[in-house]
Amino acid sequence: MSSVMGERVKLTIFGESHGPSIGVVMDGLPAGVELDLAAIEKEMKRRAPGSSKLATPRKEPDSFTIESGFFNGKTTGMALCARIVNTNAHSRDYSKMKEIMRPGHGDYPGYVKFHGCNDYRGGGSFSGRLTAPLVFAGAVAKQLLAKKGVTVGAHVAALAGIRDDRFNPLGETAETLRSMGEETLPVLNPDVRETMAQAVTAAQKEKDSVGGLIECMAIGLPVGLGEPYFDSVESRLSHALFSVPAVKGIAFGDGFGLAEMRGSESNDPMQYRDDRVVCTTNHNGGVTGGITNGMPLVFTLVIKPTPSIGKTQHTVNVVTREDTTLEVTGRHDPCILPRAIPVVEAVTAWTLLDLFYMAERG
């Protein structure tokens, strides 16, 4: 089992949902980088459980301790390690999960792959709890990207069939992208926020859950990040983002809509503007030939409904080898989208930082 991601800057996560702690090790960061710890704490709070009525009631402060690689306010050049203590685990809520598999969850394939040795409490290593270390790493990456003039932001593009406006494909302001981080339920059109919240509450009352779409954008990227084929920007981002629990699909630019266009429609015409080549449309989401083309990077993610729900579901008991039913108890998000947004931004930022270093170091 690999818990490592990255080429020039490597990220390793560790821990389980109900273990003593979780954390992250970041290797390859340069020495002398000043880090704003308050800004990192702010990013962590965006993802932290118990932060709103729309999230799981599990309350974790997600306070971190930097164990190495940081001294006198700057990175030392050694591996940067951060640890987050688990303080509010209710392991007894998962006693049945040792035998009874949750539909839609990683319980069954994990049980088989790891010969029943996997930590089933709270989903163990399959849990969204492991995204907290990703947010820490992404918060560091965002600060390094900001020095390069790059800003990353995301919003709820759709929730339970309720759609928000889309990002302007030719680019949003850095202020607009950063403002998404100030909202519990980030949307561009504030008129849909309450309707979305009501849909989440309705599903929760019915012991169910809802999913949706997240749209993410990065602006300020230069031309030339990424490589053709196996290290394309789409390949690297897709690999990283599919590592986030609940992500089931990704589309760059107009995505599947491109299938309904002709080439004359899907191509992005180019022109010189202030001695700089720009595209007049951005159907391809800022990436052509696997390489950034200088336009805003835009992609949309499919986030499935949370699989742990209170409704009665058909499943199996792997110990007695019988069919059975399950009503999941405990504390679970009726909708993961609001807390997934900072995770998506974080993974995007870390991947882009790695692509920058790949380009700079050859």
- For residue range 179-198, what is the model confidence (pLDDT) as tens digits? 999 999 999 999 999 999 99
Region 274-295: mean pLDDT is 97
Amino acid identity of residue 282, one-letter, is: N
Lowest mean pLDDT among 96-100, 134-138, 237-241, 342-346: 96-100
Question: Is 166 among the annotated ligand-binding positions?
Answer: no
Tell me: pLDDT of 53 over 80.
no
Residue 102: name the closest of 343, 303, 312 by CA: 312
Confidence of residue 263 (pLDDT cuts 50, 70, 90): very high
Mean pLDDT, the chain, as a whole number? 91
Tell me: pLDDT of 241 over 70.
yes
Give Cα separations from 220 to 36, 49, 238, 346 (angstroms). Answer: 21, 31, 20, 16
Residue 347: name the closest of 256, 222, 227, 214 by CA: 214
Question: Is 289 among the annotated ligand-binding positions?
Answer: yes
Q: What is the pTM of this model?
A: 0.92
Residue 55: name the closest of 311, 356, 346, 339 by CA: 339
Domain limits, the chain: 2-358
Lowest mean pLDDT among 118-127, 158-167, 199-208, 231-240: 118-127
Give residue 11's pLDDT. Answer: 95
Amino acid identity of residue 299, one-letter, is: F
- Residues 204 and 159 sit within 8 Å (Cβ to Cβ): no
Question: Is 47 among the annotated ligand-binding positions?
Answer: yes
User: What does the block give as tokens for 362?
Assistant: 């050859």
Please tell us whether the domain made up of 2-358 is placed in CATH 3.60.150.10: yes
Tell me: pLDDT of 306 over 80.
yes
Question: Is 304 among the annotated ligand-binding positions?
Answer: yes
Question: Is 308 among the annotated ligand-binding positions?
Answer: yes
Query: Higher-confidence residue: 8 or 128?
Result: 8
Tell me: pLDDT of 137 over 80.
yes
User: What does the block give as tokens for 267?
Assistant: 């191509």
- Give tens-digit pLDDT for 62-91: 899 999 999 999 999 999 999 999 886 555
User: What does the block give as tokens for 229?
Assistant: 């084929």
Give Cα separations from 81 to 26, 60, 65, 127 (angstroms). Answer: 6, 20, 8, 21
CA atoms 35, 41, 43, 44: torsion sign: positive
Which residues share a beta bridge with 169? none
Confidence of residue 124 (pLDDT cuts 50, 70, 90): low
Give residue 98's pLDDT. Answer: 80
Confidence of residue 362 (pLDDT cuts 50, 70, 90): low
Give residue 125's pLDDT. Answer: 67
Give residue 304's pLDDT. Answer: 96
Confidence of residue 1 (pLDDT cuts 50, 70, 90): low
